[in-house]
Amino acid sequence: MAESKRDEASPLHVVVFPWLAFGHMIPFLELSEQLAKRGHFVTFVSAPRNLARLRPVVPEVRPRIRLAPLPLPRVEGLPDGAESTADVPPEKVELLKVAFDGLAAPFAAFLAGACAGGKSGAGEGHGRKPDWIVHDFAHHWLPPIADEHGVPCAAFFIFPAACVAFIGPKALNDAHPRSAAADFTVAPPWIPSSLSHVAYRGHEAEWVVGAWGPNASGVSDTARIWETMERCPLLVCRCSREVDGPLCDLLGEIYGKPVLPSGLLAPHDAATRASSAAGDDDHDDDEETAGLMRWLDAQPGRSVLYVAFGSEAPLAPEHVRALALGLELAGVRFLWALRRPLGEARPELPDGFEARARAAGRGVVRVGWVPQVRVLAHAAVGAFLTHAGWSSLMESFLFGHPLVMLPLFADQGLTARLMAARRVGLEVPWNGRAFAAEDVAATVRRVMVGEEGKELARNAGELREVLWDTARQGRYIDELVEHLQQRRRGALAATCTSTTQCSVLVDKLDVLFPS
């Protein structure tokens, strides 16, 4: 009995394993830090170069977060040293999945060692047998390995609730098949009519169709997701009821098992440091970054549009040109963090664009890395032109910025629809696979100038209050931890894993949300 009570009170040891994309690794790291702040121990697994490029773990929890490298196997056609989606062009991401699947055997050896070293709950901290493995969408091969060692798995989806709901479980997709692009331009039947705007545009739907089909790994992205979801007794979604509303509860109904919100995992520590550093020149900046910050210091308050599209996929050349001309037509101040295409010196901008922007004192283009949170924290920034990636939006809303949205792929289109419906930003219209400079300019001016922009800014400010309610955001983590501890005590309820249960779920949801 005494041993049982000691085990209940001891900290958890959680193995965390994200997909090989920094847009996934960063929220997994935020979750790891939140667990560590509550006294639990985390082993964070990724490829060695990814771990070296991660931002530093916050000092207060460094002893509780261990980085565990697993070298990727070589795959023909994958560039040497490529370990993340930032290292390859979009067409080679499927080869990264081939390499990733090659981690199954090394991970099995890693887990066997971790379990052998902490048998029967012996040991403390990282020496204890893992209590849980929290992993990403791509790990369809991981739950069977964990089952061999009696370690439960939780799938953590870093995309918003709308995307997780739109995908739906395999049982519902079998009952309501989708294969053509047009099938994804309407909300699926299990999403209620009040959320009918949760759907893709035509050009986005073509990308989704690709995710529904097999790639070089032999497994489609959706097959990975479905198998992962079916094998995990617990799902976690990066969402909150304050932002995602009824979608949070809908997820549990759709998937027939516990789906816990993690909260939004906004980078509060980085935002606090960035805000306290405003106007402070005491930084170890390179020359270009120092120049950017000096330029921002010289601009009027909330007058600059920050433009950035994340690290996962570069803009096509025609999109770069249309965006540049649109910024010029808009006539507003801008700071553009432009990603350098792999293998190229720099993107091709319209002739004379940068010179004209500099001469007018109106714009700066930085090709390469920009300290995004620091820029968003600056008083000169008044809006954000973004691909609507969930992590970028969390960073933006920490400072109350309205959005100009230009979604490119994956969950970004669904997120943009939700943010537009919430009136915190506007989407740039697309015409087929393209958008026009004139539409960029018009959308930018609507957000940056005039009464509509003030309304959008007020609404974005309300989301800022939600994100800075750290007590409420922290309760989501507390509830998640309690659930993880219940499983260790053997109190987690049985979940929907059998074919019979899922058939019952299909019938139930057909009644709730008929076609």
pLDDT tens digit sequence for 414-453: 999 999 999 999 999 998 888 999 999 999 999 999 899 9
Task: Concatenate the DSSP letters of all residues of 233-265 into one string.
Answer: SEEEES--HHHHTTHHHHHHHHHTS-EEE----
Rg of the chain over CA atoms, in angstroms? 23
Could you tell me if residue 503 is inside a domain? Answer: no
Q: Are residues 462 and 481 in the same domain?
A: no
Torsion sign, CA atoms 314, 320, 322, 325: positive
Torsion sign, CA atoms 182, 184, 189, 192: negative
Q: Are residues 432 and 482 in the same domain?
A: no
pLDDT of residue 289: 86
Task: Concatenate the DSSP letters of all residues of 354-390 into one string.
Answer: HHHHHHTT-EEEEES---HHHHHHSTTEEEEEE---H
Q: What is the pLDDT of residues 246-293, one digit of tens each?
A: 889 899 999 999 999 999 999 999 999 998 765 454 456 778 888 899
Of the candidates 138, 135, 12, 15, which has an alpha carbon nearest to the alpha carbon of residue 68?
A: 15
Q: Which residues of the chain have pLDDT under 50?
A: 1-6, 279, 281-282, 491-506, 508-515
Residues 6+ apart with CB under 8 A from 413: 200, 201, 204, 388, 407
CA distance 292 to 306: 12
pLDDT of residue 515: 42
Q: 402 is in which domain, residue-wise?
A: 288-467
pTM, 2 dp: 0.90
Could you tell me if residue 367 is inside a domain? Answer: yes
CA distance 338 to 307: 8
Q: Are residues 64 and 78 in the same domain?
A: yes
Q: Are residues 297 and 423 in the same domain?
A: yes
CB 152 within 8 A of CB 233: yes
Q: Are residues 258 and 354 in the same domain?
A: no
C-alpha dihedral, 234 to 237 to 239 to 240, nearest 10°: 0
Instruction: Supply the DSSP symbol for 140.
Output: T
pLDDT of residue 117: 76
CA distance 137 to 411: 13
Q: Are residues 247 and 373 in the same domain?
A: no
pLDDT of residue 213: 85
Structure tokens given for 477: 């983590």
Structure tokens given for 483: 């659930």
Of the candidates 429, 430, 419, which has an alpha carbon nearest to the alpha carbon of residue 456?
A: 419
Could you tell me if residue 403 is inside a domain? Answer: yes
Q: Are residues 456 and 482 in the same domain?
A: no
Could you tell me if residue 136 is inside a domain? Answer: yes
Which CATH number goes with the domain that contains 312? 3.40.50.2000
Q: Are residues 17 and 89 in the same domain?
A: yes
Say whether 39 sits in a helix, a strand or coil.
coil
Residues 6+ apart with CB under 8 A from 334: 304, 305, 306, 307, 327, 357, 362, 363, 364, 385
Q: Are residues 103 and 247 in the same domain?
A: yes
Could you tell me if residue 236 is inside a domain? Answer: yes
Could you tell me if residue 352 is inside a domain? Answer: yes
Residue 425's DSSP bridge partners are 403
CA distance 34 to 32: 5
Q: Are residues 11 and 141 in the same domain?
A: yes
Could you tell me if residue 205 is inside a domain? Answer: no
Say whether 15 sits in a helix, a strand or coil.
strand
CA distance 237 to 240: 9
pLDDT of residue 37: 97
Q: Are residues 345 and 234 in the same domain?
A: no
Structure tokens given for 71: 């070298």
Residue 223: phi, psi to the nearest 5?
-65, -40
Domain count, the chain: 2
Could you tell me if residue 183 is inside a domain? Answer: no
Q: Are residues 332 and 460 in the same domain?
A: yes
